[in-house]
Amino acid sequence: MSKYLISIVGATAIGKTALSIQLANHFNTAIISCDSRQFFKEMTIGTAVPSKEELSAAEHHFIQHISIFDSYNVGQFEKDAIEKLHELFQQHDIVIMVGGSGLYVDAVLKGLDEFPKVDPKIREDLNQQLETDGIESLQQQLLQLDPTYYERVALGNPHRLIRALEICIGSGKPYSSFLKDKTADRNFTAIKVGLTADRPIMYNRINQRVDIMMEEGLLEEAKALYPHKALNALQTVGYRELFEYLDGNYTLDFAISEIKKNTRRFAKRQGTWFRKDESTIWFDYQEHIETIVKEIESRLG
C-alpha cells in the first residue's frame, strides 16, 4: 500500500491543531509539526504550542524539540522531517503534518529551492543596514526588488528579508524567480487539506487568541526571554511587540493592539502562500470531521 502524508495548512488560529488530532485519532497515527516557532522549548504561550491535553491525545513530533540558542534552519528541518517520516511510515500508512509555516511545509513536500552563491559582503552590508536604518528599510528594498516575494514573506523576520535581498542583489534577479515548482522525489503521496474562514471571523479568532495569550501569561514569558531579544527565534509576532513595551517604546495596550494587527497581517500572508497551491482541498473551519475524512479517504489508494 502507498504511504500518505496528510498536510493540514491554513492561517494562524484557524483550528489546525484540533483537526490534526482528530485525524490522527481517526487514522490511528502520529503528527509531525512544521510550525517553525513551536520548535523552541522556551516559547510556549506566544507560539500557541498545543496544550498538555492535546499533546497527550496524539503522538507529536517537532514540538519544542530545540532551544532558541540552537542553530536550526529549514534545511535541517527538511532532513529531520524526512528521516522521521521514514521511521513513522514503518509503522503507519498515513501520517499527519500540521503547521502554518509555508516554507517548512514546502520543504517537506517539495524539497528546498537552489540558490546561486553570492558575495558574503552583501549579507554583512544588509545586517549593517538593519542595525542603522531598521527593518522597515529592508522591507521597502524588498518591495522594490521583488514585490512577488514581498507578498509572501514574514515581513517581521529580518533573517528572511536579508536572505531574499542578498539573492536579489547578488544575482540581479528576484528571489522569487529561484523558487521552483517541481517537486523533489518523495516516497509518499501528499494530500493537502486547508482550513479557511471569512476574514472577519478569522480576524476575530486572532484577536480572541491574543487576549487569551495575555491572560495565560504571555507578558511574563516575554519578560523571561527579554535578555535574549536579539536572537532570530524571538523575532516573532507577540514577543517583538512586548519587547518594545519592555523597552519603554510602547504602552501595554498599544503593544497588544500591535500584536493583533501584525498577527492579522501574518494570517493574510499565510493565505496568499497556501492559496497558490491549487491541489489543496479547502474546508470551512467549522466543517464536520466526517466530511473531511470522507474526502481524504476518497483519495487513498
Same domain for 287 and 148: no
107 and 188 part of one domain? yes
Residues 195 and 163 in one domain: no
Q: Are residues 274 and 199 in the same domain?
A: yes
C-alpha cell at 300: 487513498
132, pLDDT greater than 80: yes
Number of Cβ within 10 Å of residue 122's Cβ equals 16
Helix (H, G, I), strand (E, B) or coil at 193: strand
Angle between helix 102-109 and helix 252-275 axes, rounded to 10 deg:
30
Domain boundary among 178, 200, 225: 178
- pLDDT tops 70 at residue 1: no
Question: Are 22 and 87 in the same domain?
Answer: yes
CB 136 within 8 A of CB 150: no
Q: What is the pLDDT of residue 159?
A: 86
Same domain, 190 and 284: yes
Whose grid coordinates read 516575494? 149
Q: Are 46 and 222 in contact (CB under 8 A)?
A: yes
44 belongs to an annotated ligand binding site: no
Q: Check the annotation: does 17 bind a ligand.
A: yes
pLDDT in tens, 168-179: 999 999 998 888
Tell me the pLDDT band of 182, cut-offs 50, 70 and 90.
low
| 196 annotated among ligand-binding-site residues | no
Q: Are residues 275 and 186 in the same domain?
A: yes
Tens digit of pLDDT for each residue in 6-62? 999 999 999 999 999 999 999 999 999 999 999 999 999 999 999 999 999 999 999
CATH code: domain of residue 130: 1.10.20.140
Sign of CA dihedral 192, 269, 285, 276: negative
pLDDT band at 78 (very low <50, low <70, confident <90, very high): very high
Under a CB-based contact definition with an 8 Å cutoff, are residues 195 and 285 in contact?
A: yes
The pLDDT of residue 192:
97
Q: Could you give the angle at the alpha carbon of 292 between the alpha carbons of 99 and 78, nearest 5°?
A: 25
Q: Do both 163 and 198 map to the same domain?
A: no
Same domain (yes/no): 173, 187? no
pLDDT at position 181: 60
**What confidence score (pLDDT) does residue 180 get?**
65
What pLDDT digit, counting tens, does each position of 195-215 carry? 999 999 999 999 999 999 999
Do the annotations mark residue 11 as ligand-binding?
Answer: yes
Look at residue 156 and tell me whether its pLDDT is greater than 90: no
Name the β-bridge partners of 60: 31
Indicate the average pLDDT of the chain: 94
Amino acid identity, residue 216?
E
> Domain tally for the chain?
2
| Domain end position, chosen among 178, 204, 226 | 178
Are 77 and 189 members of one domain?
yes
What is the reported pLDDT for 60?
Answer: 98
- Same domain for 47 and 76, yes or no, is yes
Domain boundary among 160, 178, 196: 178
Query: Is 156 annotated as contributing to ligand binding?
Result: no
The answer to whether residues 54 and 189 belong to one domain is yes
Nearby residues of 212 by Cβ (< 8 Å), 6 or more positions away: none
Query: In DSSP terms, which residues pair with 66 in a beta bridge?
Result: 40
Spatial separation of the C-alpha atoms in residues 270 and 274, rounded to whole Å: 6
Structural domain range at position 103: 4-112+181-297
| Helices marked H in the chain | 16-26, 52-57, 74-88, 102-109, 120-133, 135-145, 147-150, 158-171, 199-216, 218-225, 239-246, 252-275, 289-297
What are the C-alpha distances in Å from 123 to residues 73, 148, 246?
Answer: 17, 21, 29
- Annotated binding-site residue? 280: no
Report the DSSP beta bridge partners of residue 196: 284
Give the whole-angstrom CA distance, residue 96 versus residue 108. 12
Return the CATH number at 215.
3.40.50.300
**Chain CA centroid to CA 36, Å:** 5
Give the tens place of pLDDT for each residue, 95-112: 999 999 998 999 999 998
Q: To which residue does cell 523533489 refer?
A: 184
